[in-house]
């Protein structure tokens, strides 16, 4: 299957997460109160307009993509979970914030860096799905082993492109997004 189809599959899985997130009742926020407290504490550490914060966000996002890619041969479970859970979180948190603020506030908080970060995430996870599927195929069909190395090389190129997109996304998230939220 060509990479473009994997991108569509990644978008579909992310979309499923978005739909689930929008359908999750906001009363579920009580169930996530510990996680939200942890996120707020992390937010206090990640100071806007600080280069160290750019590095921390970049490392967090890049390590998530790299881990997903590395673990993708385990039946593509990690990329599938990453796509659906991140879609769910984005929709759920956006809907919750929108109740307290506005759609404009949510868009101002997401769009500047999200224009680069979301495509980077989708492209990286599509590469993970593509490589993981070939690895699983090789596991069950030994005669397909010659597909593994070319798939790894091709998908590493896509992964590197996704990682490159994360650099300006992290810079925008720390230096531009806070200006729009004040």
Domain that holds residue 124: 3-15+48-181
CA distance 79 to 143: 25
Residue 140 counted as domain residue? yes
Is there a domain that residue 43 lies in? no
Question: Contact 57/173 with Cβ under 8 angstroms?
Answer: yes
Q: Supply the pLDDT for residue 142.
A: 84
Residue 33 included in any domain: no
Average pLDDT over residues 145-159: 96
Whether 83 has a pLDDT exceeding 80, the answer reads: yes
Total domains, the chain: 1
Helix axes 3-23, 103-140, angle to 10 degrees: 130
Residues 128/54, Cβ–Cβ less than 8 Å:
no
How many other CB atoms are there within 10 angstroms of residue 29's CB atom? 15
Neighbours of 174 (CB within 10 A): 23
Among candidate residues 170, 168, 140, 177, the one with its CA nearest the CA of residue 58: 170
Does any domain span residue 154?
A: yes
41 found inside a domain: no
Residue 25 located in a structural domain: no
Evaluate whether residue 101 is within a structural domain.
yes
| DSSP-derived 3-state class of residue 47 | coil
Average pLDDT over residues 115-131: 98
Stated pTM of the model: 0.90
Two tokens at 49? 């307009």
Give the model's confidence band at 78: pLDDT under 50 very low, under 70 low, under 90 confident, else very high: very high
Asked if residue 37 is part of any domain, the answer here is no
pLDDT digits (tens, 9 = 90+) for 9-36: 999 999 999 999 999 887 666 666 666 6
């Amino acid at each position: 299957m060509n990479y473009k189809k994997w991108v569509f599959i990644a978008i579909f899985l992310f979309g499923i997460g978005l739909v689930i997130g929008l359908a999750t009742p906001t009363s579920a926020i009580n169930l996530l109160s510990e996680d939200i407290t942890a996120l707020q504490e992390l937010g206090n550490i990640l100071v806007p307009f600080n280069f160290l914060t750019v590095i921390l966000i970049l490392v967090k996002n890049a390590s998530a993509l790299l881990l997903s890619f590395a673990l993708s041969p385990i039946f593509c479970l990690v990329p599938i979970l990453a796509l659906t859970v991140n879609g769910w979180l984005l929709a759920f948190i956006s809907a919750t914030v929108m109740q307290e603020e506005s759609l404009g506030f949510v868009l101002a908080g997401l769009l500047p860096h999200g224009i680069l970060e979301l495509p980077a995430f989708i492209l990286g996870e599509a590469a993970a799905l593509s490589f993981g599927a070939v690895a699983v195929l090789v596991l069950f069909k030994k005669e397909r082993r010659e597909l593994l190395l070319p798939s790894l090389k091709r998908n590493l190129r896509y992964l590197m492109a996704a990682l490159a997109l994360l650099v300006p996304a992290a810079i925008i998230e720390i230096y531009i997004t806070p200006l729009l939220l004040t």
